[in-house]
Each structure stands twice: as C-alpha cells, then as structure tokens.
C-alpha cells in the first residue's frame, strides 16, 4: 500500500477528461487500494483518479457513516443513468483545500458501473451519497465544484486563491 500525492488546483491534470478503464487488472486494483488508503489518510469521503494524477474513470467513496447503508464504494467506469430533483450542499474538495461553498446538484441519482472485481454495480443514492457521487464524477470529466458556483462567487474564489498562491510563494521557507 502507498499514499499518493493529491493534486491541487490549478494543476492541469484536474482539467483533463479521464479515459475508460478497459481491464481491471492487478495494476488497477493496486491503484484502487492506494486511492482508498489516500482518501482515509487525507481525510476525505471520496477521491477520483484524476486527483492523484491518473486519468482513469475510477472513484472511491466512503461516507464513514454506518447509517448511510453503504460501506466503501469502488466504482470503475461509472455512468449516471437517472437523476431526480434538486438540492444544494456546502461542498469541499481535497484538491481545493480549505475552501467550502454551497453547490446545486441533483437530489437523487442512479449510477451504474463496476466494482474492483469487475462485477456490475448499480447504486440508487440520495442525500450526501448522491452529492459525493456527482462531485467525484465531475472530477472524471475534468470539472471542479468551483465551476458550478455563480459568477460572483467564482470570481471571489479566483481572487482569494491567487492571493493564497502569492503568499505561499513569498513566505520564507521553514
Ligand atoms: O473529491 C474530493 O475532493 C473529496 C471530497 C468529497 C466531497 C465532500 C463533500 C461534498 C462533496 C464532495 C471530500 O472528502 S472533502 C473532505 C470532507 O468533506 C470530509 C472529510 C472528513 C470527514 C468528513 C468530511
Ligand atoms: Zn473533489
């Protein structure tokens, strides 16, 4: 097992569209194990392969809530096949550290894909799971939650982030 580096905004890999996984071989299974480890260590409740620099359609989620009805979720080549309703939730992202904002998404989604053993999986989700599934699937399409903010909030975010990067560059090394 190995911890992977999480790429952060504005890393261009976060803007690339991930490729379908054509075979779930030992290399893909090792990547899944490492992504799960990395998600728990971060800590986070989801992680998409783009976030660790791998352009594969692969994501892991663990809400770490016994009441959600799901433990660890591994999805290879996930596709949203149905959506319903609208909701909003204050989201965070391991690739955009220390920034949270409300984002509007579908309230319920049905997602199909495959698990780490290439077994077909279908998940009908509402609540936080539906939000995190959509957030992670956005990553696979090179989209970040900040792209879903209104113009004013996005502009404010960009200005704040520029300032943060500038400060990080001018800070004396420890
Ligand atoms: O994709 C990611 O960057 C992971 C992200 C998932 C997510 C969280 C909330 C709304 C939408 C998507 C995170 O895990 S951010 C960290 C976080 O929310 C959290 C971390 C530890 C415990 C509980 C929550
Ligand atoms: Zn994210």
Closest atom of ligand 1 relative to the 47 alpha carbon: 1
Q: How many domains does the chain have?
A: 1
Closest atom of ligand 1 relative to the 128 alpha carbon: 10
pLDDT tens readout for residues 61-111: 999 877 777 899 999 999 999 999 999 999 999 999 999 999 999 999 999
The answer to whether residue 6 sits within a structural domain is no
Tell whether ligand 1 has an atom less than 6 A from the beta carbon of residue 52. Answer: no
134: closest CA among 40, 61, 66?
61
Preceding peptide of 165 cis, ω within 30°: no
The answer to whether residue 4 sits within a structural domain is no
The answer to whether residue 36 sits within a structural domain is yes
Q: Which domain holds residue 16?
A: 12-170
Tell whether ligand 1 has an atom less than 6 A from the beta carbon of residue 136. Answer: yes
Q: Please report, for the domain that includes residue 113, its CATH number.
A: 3.90.45.10
The answer to whether residue 166 sits within a structural domain is yes
pTM: 0.96
pLDDT, mean over the chain: 95
Tell whether ligand 1 has an atom less than 6 A from the beta carbon of residue 134. Answer: no
């Amino acid at each position: 097992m190995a911890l992977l580096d999480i790429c952060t905004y504005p890393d261009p890999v976060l803007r690339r569209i991930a490729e379908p996984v054509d075979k779930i071989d030992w290399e893909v299974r090792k990547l899944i194990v490492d992504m799960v480890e990395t998600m728990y260590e971060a800590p986070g409740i989801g992680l998409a392969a783009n976030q660790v620099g791998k352009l594969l359609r692969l994501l892991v989620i663990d809400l770490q809530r016994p009441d959600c009805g799901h433990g660890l979720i591994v999805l290879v080549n996930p596709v949203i096949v149905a959506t319903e309703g609208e909701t909003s939730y204050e989201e965070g992202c391991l690739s955009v550290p220390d920034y949270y904002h409300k984002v509007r998404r579908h309230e319920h989604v049905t997602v199909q894909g495959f698990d780490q053993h290439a077994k077909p999986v279908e998940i009908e989700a509402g609540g936080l799971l539906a939000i995190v599934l959509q957030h992670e699937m956005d990553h696979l399409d090179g989209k970040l939650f900040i792209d879903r903010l209104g113009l004013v909030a996005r502009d404010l975010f960009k200005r704040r982030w520029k300032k943060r990067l500038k400060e990080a560059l001018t800070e004396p090394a420890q």
